[in-house]
Structure formats: structure tokens, C-alpha cells
Structure 1
Amino acid sequence: MTFTITDTAVFNGRELLAGRYDVRVDGDTVAALVQAGTGDPVGEVVDGAGATLLPGLIDGHVHFRQAVDFEALLAGGVTSAADMASWPPEHVAELRSHSGGIVFTTPGAPLIGPAGPHSHMPGLSDSVIDSPEAARREVAARAAQGVDYIKLVLEAKGRGGPESDAAHAAVDAAHAAGLRVVAHASSVGAIELGVAIGVDILTHAPLDGAVSAGTIKRIVEQGIVVVPTLIMMRTVAEARDIAPAYANAIAFVAAIHHAGVVIVAGSDANSAPGAPAAVFHGTGARDEVGLLVNAGLSPVEALRAATETSAGLFEFMNRGVVRLGSVADLLLVNGAPTTDITAVGDIRGVWLAGRRVS
């Protein structure tokens, strides 16, 4: 199918382009970006007057359970996502068959400690790493399954997570296998452990206190990327009736942003019964970019965290951008989200690989 979105502003994943554009899509690819009105539109015409065209959003932290999760993502303008734990491998294969074309990455089952909160989840008894040997064995098993990265669930000392020797062995084994390590770290102690053992990506932000300047300095020096999932942290704080604790999460994001840490937008959206808090697929990603702005990022930085930067982190090739030859995962919104981030929720159209889905 060929269509042209006419007279639209374009945020290309990194910056707002000067002027307005006619953007032509042929099949699943962006085929032309020309100054509005300088040529004749080709194919179906989509009016982009008063709107901004962006890459489809990429949610850097979700959990999939059923086909409707993918439908909700698309309705919210999310066209790719980083899953943060799905198991067993047969279920992952089933999810891919029902994704509707959404591309997603996954670590398979997470590696967990013997007595942390995740140890009570069904199907994770074989994922416990209670020794360096167990850690190496589980990493090898994930690598054999063809996972995209290793997910390691860390807790503060004494909270039932993996001991530091097992966690460190998991990181070393993952790196030896060419896999990065994503660490669930939702407390100050867990963040400190993740930094000490050299994980590549930290997810969540602490509710229980302030992360030290020294730890933040090490995050910068080690090039660790942070996916703070502010919408989940706020929702958890509200659910536990500790809403003031959310200020710790905001302060953490403000501090790492000021320090120059790479931040990626992720919502921790899930539809699993018994989850700590309900964050919805699709709307969660839009909420997250708004909360990143509240924490000190500019609207452009927040949008970048949900498009080009996220695509680069999770290796979604030729996605998260609007340029000649890029995959036509597109989001058309009313208004100017690069100055008013709330406009990202005022959706006029969503396309997945050139196919209009909303």
C-alpha cells in the first residue's frame, strides 16, 4: 500500500525537523520526506495539518501475557517493546504468533534469588540462582533458548535476592556469552548491588531512599543505562499508601539525568493477576514520557527516550526513527508533543510496518 501523510511536522526520533513535510510510505518503508506542497501526494492522502508525525513509540519495559496486550500497545501508539520476562519458551513462541506484527525482545525467564518476592511466582522454581554454579547453569540455559538478554532480579541485602557471588557469576557468564544483563533493581540496595556487579541496564527507581552521589558516578562511568519505570513506581507507591516515597524515584531520575546517564522510557505494563500494581499497555508508555518530563527531561529528550534511544538499546533495527528507508512504524498525533508532551496521547493515526492499525 502507498500513502502520503501531508503537511505534517516531523519528529524523526532525535529532533523536530524544521518546517512541515509530506511523508510518503510505500509498503512497509518510508519512501520520501519532502517539504510540504513541493510535490504531488502519492496514493491515499492522510491529512497531517496541525499534527506531528513521530516514530511509533518503543516501550522499554513490558510484560506480555495475552494477545490483547499487543492490541492495547498499538492503540496507544506503541509499535515495539522490550519484554522483561516471559516463560516457558513455548509461551514466548505463542506470544510471537499473536503479536500482530509487533517486534519484541525477551530474556525468557528471569534469574531470581531463593526467597525474594519473585520466588513465589509460578514456574520460576528452576530459575533460582543460589550459587555461582547455578547462575552459570541458568545463563547457559537462557543462551541456548536464544534469549535477547539476561534478566536478573536483584534485591537489597537480606531481602531474598541472589547473593552477590551468584549475581556476579551470572553477569560474567552472560557477558562471556555475548549477552547483556538487565537488572530489576527497585531499591537503593539493589541498585548498589547492580552497579557493583557490573550490570548493563538498571530497571526501576527506588522508593526507599536516595541513591548516593558515588553510586550515580559509577553508573555514569560504567555506561549503565537506566529504565526507571516511573509510572510503575508511582502506581506502587499509591497502592501501598506510601505516595510520598515516590519523591525518591523522581529525585533519582533527576540526578541521573543531570549526570548524563542514558535514560530509556519503559512502563512495566502488565496484565497479570496479582501484579504489584496495574499499569496498562499503550497508555503506560505515554504516561511514562510525561513523568520523565516531570522529572526534568525536556519533551524532546523524553520522546527520544521512547524512540531512537530505546531502539538503539534493544537493537530494533531501522525502527524508532523517521527517515528514508526506515520501517514505517509511525504515530501521528494532534499538536506539538516536542513542546507539550501531553500531545503524545492525542492520537490521529498509528501504522505498523506501513499498515494502519488505529
Structure 2
Amino acid sequence: MTETVLGGVIDHHVHLGLVERDLLADSPVVEVHDLGWDPVAAQGFRANPPSGVDVHIVGPFHTAPGGYPTGRKWAPPSSVREIADAADAGVAVREAVTRMASGIKVTLHDDFANLSEEVLEVLVEEAHVDGLPVLVHAEGRGMVELALRVGADVLVHAPWTEPVPEGVLAASTQMTWISTLAIHAPSDQQVAIDNIVRFRALGGTVRYGTDMGNGPTPVGVNAEEIRALGRAGLHGEELIDAVTGGPPALSAPLPRPTNADELIRWLGAARRLPATIQEDE
């Protein structure tokens, strides 16, 4: 029987310290990006991943003294790296390089203290010198603009607190957005979807990410996230690329999915190819 082969699911935004990690073992999810946790624990996630899952880590949340998520019950104090000044920004990047982090996570939140534009620029510049992307949690008025001005590479949530102005949106296409749509209440989700629709129309790239661990999110494939991407206009190969984006790792005797519901059904019936077959491909 002819089979359809797609890459495994890549979740670009998870918090493994907040979920039952073993549930990911040998699932359709083949790669996860842990975007903020205690750096020693995160190194442990990478060294001892669930079976069949490639774990990437960024280490702690980088923020201003007292910045988000300082004081949140779900965030251990060791998961927050407060940056004192521009010199300390360079030190923080060196720490990330030593841990072999895949990027630098920065938080910007209009209800909390934020790093100055000068310090952010140094942090981004130092990260880029070492080939590390800067991934930003941008929440609230003016935070997307600030992330854009300092040269950040990724927004870890599609903006959901307000419509992004057209000029900012056009300039933002140099960044990648991670979806995380399903974590929001319906009204906030609709704002994020509308922003994605306009962002995509300008050539922007969106990647599947669930913020796994933020509330009662499923550990594994998040069907609601895929459906929300479909409502944002991602279909066919664009949707497949957003959700998988990797080398072939799964196989199922179904036609190639063309929309969100078909992709969800496909993943529900998918099986992993043996490693030797994957390598030959």
C-alpha cells in the first residue's frame, strides 16, 4: 500500500518542567523547544529526553530586575535570569553559550519592569555574534514594536493583546511568529488569529507552538492549536510545514492532508518509520 510520509510534529514552544514529559515518548511529536526554565533542569531535559524526542533548550527567562515572570507561582526563581546592565547582558549570553542553548529567551511585558532598549540591543547583538536567535515574549502595548526595534528574531506568541499596526506588522515579517493560539480565551485568540492573517498576507512565517505546560494543555499533539492555525488561514503545504517542518518521521496510509481536520486525523493514525528507513531517506 502506498503511504503518505510527513515529518514528525515540532512544537516550538513548550515548558517541560510543567508537564509529564514521559507522555511525549514515541508520540508524533519528535522535537520540542523548551522556552524558559531552570537552566540546570533544562540541561537534564536535553540529556535525558523522552524516547524519540529531540529536546532544544534556551535556559532561563532573561528580563529586567523584577521583570516577568518574577514572582509567578509556576516559575521557579532559578528560571529567571535578571540582567542588571549592558555588561551583564554579555555575561548572560556567555552563560547561554556555555550551556549550548539554542537561543536566548527574553520577556517584555507592559505590566512589569522591562530591560532598556540599550540593554536589549546589546543582548541581541551579543547573541547574534554567537549565532543565537533571540526569542521574545512580547505582551502588551508597544512590546512588539520594542522587540522589532532591537532586532529580535522570534515572537514566542502570536501577538494577542491588541491588533498590531500595519506598519509594525510589515516590518515584523523579518521575524518568525510561534502560534500558541489555543492557550487564549476566545476573544484574545481571535485578536491573535487576525494578526496572523495580516502577517501572513505580508509574507510572514508562522510556526506551530503550543506553550505546553501553560494550563491544562495536552502533552503531545494539540488538535486545538492545529484547528486554530487552520482558522488563521494555514492550509495544505503551509500548514504541514508549520506543524512538522522536519525530515520525514511518520507514515500513515492516508492521502496527504490538505486542511487542519485532515492533518489531525492523519496524525491520529500515524506511525513512526523505523530509524533505518528514516536515515535512508
Change (3 A) 1:136 1:81: same
**Deviation of residue 251 (structure 1)?**
0.7
Q: Secondary structure at the match of 1:287?
A: helix
| Distance in 1 separating the partners of 2:155 and 2:275 | 30
| Distance in 1 separating the partners of 2:18 and 2:146 | 33
| Distance in 2 separating the partners of 1:73 and 1:202 | 27
| Distance in 1 separating the partners of 2:253 and 2:196 | 27
| Distance in 2 separating the partners of 1:104 and 1:335 | 30
AA of the residue aligned to 2:109: E
AA of the residue aligned to 1:332: A
1:265 aligns with 2:265: no
Change (3 A) 1:125 1:103: closer
Aligned equivalent of 1:246: 189
Query: Paired residue for 1:141, among 63, 82, 95?
Result: 95
**Deviation of residue 55 (structure 1)?**
1.5
Query: Paired residue for 2:233, among 253, 276, 296?
Result: 296
- Structure 1 residues 128-150: Cα deviation after superposition (integer angstroms, max 9, x where no partner): 01321222221111112221111
AA of the residue aligned to 1:263: V
Aligned equivalent of 2:149: 196
| Distance in 2 separating the partners of 1:60 and 1:245 | 20
- Structure 1 residues 224-273: Cα deviation after superposition (integer angstroms, max 9, x where no partner): 111121122x2xx2xxxxx3232211111111111111111111112xxx
Change (3 A) 1:155 1:331: farther
1:321 aligns with 2:247: yes
Is the Cα contact below 8 Å between 2:109 and 2:138 reproduced in 1?
Answer: yes
| Distance in 1 separating the partners of 2:108 and 2:251 | 35
Change (3 A) 1:160 1:304: same
| Distance in 2 separating the partners of 1:58 and 1:337 | 17
Aligned equivalent of 1:65: 17
**Runs of at least 4 residues off by over 6 Å:** none
TM-score, scaled relative to structure 2: 0.86
Is the Cα contact below 8 Å between 2:36 and 2:79 reproduced in 1?
Answer: no
Is the Cα contact below 8 Å between 1:230 and 1:288 reproduced in 2?
Answer: yes
Is the Cα contact below 8 Å between 1:254 and 1:296 reproduced in 2?
Answer: yes
Aligned equivalent of 1:42: none
1:96 aligns with 2:47: yes
**Unaligned regions of 5+ residues in structure 2, if any?**
none
**Deviation of residue 334 (structure 1)?**
4.8
Aligned equivalent of 2:198: 255
1:132 aligns with 2:86: yes
| Distance in 2 separating the partners of 1:185 and 1:92 | 25
| Distance in 2 separating the partners of 1:341 and 1:184 | 28
Aligned equivalent of 1:155: 109
Q: How many residues are paired up?
A: 273
Aligned equivalent of 1:29: none
Is the Cα contact below 8 Å between 2:250 and 2:270 reproduced in 1?
Answer: no
**Deviation of residue 184 (structure 1)?**
1.4
| Distance in 1 separating the partners of 2:129 and 2:178 | 24
Aligned equivalent of 2:6: 54
**Unaligned regions of 5+ residues in structure 1, if any?**
1-5, 11-52, 238-242, 309-319, 323-328
Is the Cα contact below 8 Å between 2:39 and 2:79 reproduced in 1?
Answer: no
Within a 5 Å distance, the mapping from 1:8-47 to structure 2 comes to: 8=3, 10=4
CA radius of gyration, larger in: 1
Change (3 A) 1:57 1:283: closer
| Distance in 2 separating the partners of 1:111 and 1:117 | 9
TM-score, scaled relative to structure 1: 0.69
**Deviation of residue 95 (structure 1)?**
4.7
Is the Cα contact below 8 Å between 2:37 and 2:80 reproduced in 1?
Answer: no
- Structure 1 residues 72-123: Cα deviation after superposition (integer angstroms, max 9, x where no partner): 3643x11111221232325523552242241121111121222333112323
| Distance in 2 separating the partners of 1:63 and 1:352 | 28
| Distance in 1 separating the partners of 2:66 and 2:146 | 17
Is the Cα contact below 8 Å between 2:43 and 2:99 reproduced in 1?
Answer: no
| Distance in 1 separating the partners of 2:179 and 2:139 | 9
Percent of residue pairs bearing the same amino acid type? 23
- Structure 1 residues 155-188: Cα deviation after superposition (integer angstroms, max 9, x where no partner): 23x5323222222221111112221111112334
